[in-house]
Amino acid sequence: PEMFYKQCLKIINEVNFIISEYIPEDEYQLDPVLGNVAFGSGYFGWAFTLKGMAGVIAKRFKTDAGVLAAKLWGDNFHDGKKFTTKHEDVDVERDRAFNKFVIAPLIKLQNTVVEGDREAIQKLTKNIGVEMKEKDWEKPQEDLLKCIFRKWINAADSILEMCVDHLPSPVEAQKVRIRTLYNGYRSEETKSGSEEEAETIENAEEVKGEEQEESEEEKEDSKDNFDNQAVIEAMEKCDPKGPTMIFISKLFPVGQNFVAFGRIFSGTVKVGDKVKIFNAESKKPIIKVIKKVAVCMGKDVESIPEMPCGNILVLGGVDSAIKKEATIMSTNVQASTFKSMKFTVAPVVEVAVKCKKPADQAKFVEGLKKLSQSDPLVKVDTKESGETVIAGSGDLHIEICLHQLEEFAKCEFVASEPTVSYRETILEPCDSVLSKSSNKLNRLWVTCETIDDGLCKKIEDAKLLDAKKDALQKMLRDEFDWDPADYKKLWTFGIAEASANCIVDKTTSVQYMKEIQGNVMSGFSSVILGGPLAGEKMRQVKFNVTDAQIHSDPVHRGSSQVIPMAARALKGAVLSCKPRLQEPVFLCTVKTQETIRGDVYSAFGNRRGKIVDDYYDGDSTIVVKAYLPVAESFGFAEFLRDQTSGRAIPQYVFDHWETLNSDPYEEGSMANQIVKKIRKRKGLPAEIPTADMFLDKL
């Protein structure tokens, strides 16, 4: 019991340390005495808080449960007669109150059931107030143990108790959370006439413009419009009479259709309501009618006529308009949207899928659509070659996705072996390179260089993409030493999973640059989504347009001339700067016994792993942390279990991208072999392209 107590204390202290990095200790800490910590077993379905356990045994001491709960944790002991805090007068292992009144009874109950003496079990269950049915006694030993524990200290009761006691009501919570969750939030200081205010409601203004062609009926519905500030105030107050504002975080299947799961922040939504739906990054709404409003009751969904704000809800009839997540609002709301969810994992493992029978292609496509809708992290992409690729966070995630696709598509399909998604990058800057348009009337000079690691991280964490123009320029200047000429003429960052790239206009006094900017950016987007080495996404590359000669006649500088020219110039620049591959890397954690440390080290060594930390967690338990390339993680859990006789299990989390040292042009090198395999899989020519294939000479 004492070892269990110390382990629980250690875990609570570790979690509190993490919390203290984000919230001051005096504002929030975990403490079993406060009732915000539960002890239990998810597998057996039981859990308790000290408050709940104190309620069970308070009658024995004829005292208040709240007073007793405080004595069941920490250096509180019971010498057989009274509670004391003196170590010297007691046997710590035996007399610590937590060990004696909480852990010891649990151990006794488990041992009694395992021993199988029915009379002893019946006596014990009667003492703890558990009523058993006759059929319960016929259950196998493990199921009987689960049944007794769940009847005695059911996990649901403890979790509900903590929710009631510690979770703030929506009325209190939304005052704080809206500023984090809502794109349009602004403080009192920035409400009047500021640039920030104008940018905040930019989405609402664009929506207004796109809705000018509403029908007369829709205009009548929208006569009492709510502006951005009215929406903020309604959400902060959790006002059920305010405008309807809902964030949908997930779609899940019910029968043949999907229902939308989310939270309503203001207003009241009813069956039959007409609403506007905004998908992430979409500024044009889709109008839908709510066909179903429901509430989740455990595993069941119960329909209701309406739902006021402050609740989690389920909506039907809107799934066709939602891709993964969405903001839903009343048709008379002119406001911003909720922020998209951010994930700490990346879709770095891919599998190619293909329908087995041509006659089932329509069902297969519909299944892929449902898979993409239901999982916020999964990416489904159809390549130019016709190959359909599913990308997930790891081989286990991919396995789950394939199983879901079977259920959604209801047809046979073929899946390739999982492969890793790589990134293309460069090692060093290059001199300006030239590409001409096909009509030879336009010329573009480009260089490229690497982007700072810190800037890459900020871009990928979306800390720059949401920044205002002035704040972005200040950050680029002060933190990353960008030249004013660069940050003032930054055209754009990358898109989607290739966001950590950018393109800058470094030209001076070149005519018609504004006219071709959009087409050059289109070329930039196509290149970063499919690099020149192997068609993989690019990362950590800054492209600089250094000079240009553009024809004065718009006919001769159209998109058909400029986009291919820009793409060739950018590809040629990349291949002139010592191109390299970057591979995704997991941080792998293994917790095991000190005696098999050597076996764990050996297993990592066999898979190109790099040990980064190794420390004791108790007297004989160690924690080993290592960087493990995702490409080496396939089957690593089984391999490690074999190496350690089942005594070590790895846990993975995506950590970073690492540049491979080998040259892709060196025959037989690791990078060379990877590039050739990728090109073969994608149906690309076997020859790895070189810069001169894309560039022109003066």
Task: Specify the CATH class of 424-578 in words.
Answer: alpha beta
CA 606 vs CA 27, 586, 609, 640, 641: distances in Å: 46, 15, 7, 10, 14
Alpha-carbon distance 184 to 201, whole Å?
A: 6
Task: For residues 154-166, give the mean pLDDT.
Answer: 91
Q: What is the torsion angle, in degrees rounded to the nearest 10, for the CA atoms of residue 295, residue 296, residue 302 and residue 306?
A: 0
Q: Tell me the per-residue pLDDT of 93-151, one tens digit each, with 9 for 90 and over.
A: 778 889 888 898 899 999 999 988 888 988 888 888 888 888 988 889 999 999 999 99
Q: Tell me the per-residue pLDDT of 397-450, one tens digit each, with 9 for 90 and over.
A: 999 999 999 999 999 999 999 999 999 999 999 999 999 999 999 999 999 999
Tokens 């009751």 -> residue: 297
Q: Tell me the per-residue pLDDT of 511-570, one tens digit each, with 9 for 90 and over.
A: 999 999 999 999 999 999 999 999 999 999 999 999 999 999 999 999 999 999 999 999
Alpha-carbon distance 268 to 242, whole Å?
A: 8
What is the model's pLDDT at position 227? Answer: 86
Looking at every residue in the chain, the average pLDDT score rounds to 87
What is the model's pLDDT at position 445? Answer: 97
The domain ranges of the chain are 1-163, 228-330, 349-421, 424-578, 581-659
The CATH number corresponding to 228-330 among 3.40.1710.10, 2.40.30.10, 3.30.110.30, 1.20.210.10 equals 2.40.30.10
DSSP 165-224: HHSPPHHHHHHHHHHHHBTT---GGG-SS-HHHHHHTHHHHHHHHHTTT--HHHHHHTSS
Rounded to two decimals, what is the model's pTM?
A: 0.73
Residue 533 near residue 581, CB atoms below 8 Å: yes
The fourth-level CATH superfamily of domain 349-421 is Elongation Factor G (Translational Gtpase), domain 3 (3.30.70.870)
Task: For residues 157-167, give the mean pLDDT.
Answer: 91
Task: For residues 643-652, give the mean pLDDT.
Answer: 88
Q: Partners of 268 in the beta sheet?
A: 308
Is 349-421 in the same CATH topology as 228-330?
no
Alpha-carbon distance 262 to 593, whole Å?
A: 43
pLDDT over 70 for what percent of the chain? 92
Backbone angles phi, psi at 285, to 5 degrees: -80, 160
What is the Cα Rg of the chain in Å?
Answer: 31
DSSP 291-337: -EEEEEETTEEEEESEEETTSEEEEES-GGG-SS-EEEEETTB----
Kindly state the tokens that stand for 55: 């309620």
Q: Tell me the per-residue pLDDT of 335-392, one tens digit each, with 9 for 90 and over.
A: 899 988 877 677 889 999 999 999 999 999 999 988 988 888 899 988 766 679 999 9
Q: How far out from the chain centre does Cα 159 lie?
A: 24
CATH fold of 581-659: Alpha-Beta Plaits (3.30.70)
Task: For residues 595-624, give the mean pLDDT.
Answer: 90
- Asked: is 1-163 a CATH 3.40.47.40 domain? The reply is no
Neighbours of 186 (CB within 10 A): 19
Residue 309 near residue 242, CB atoms below 8 Å: yes
pLDDT band at 465 (very low <50, low <70, confident <90, very high): low
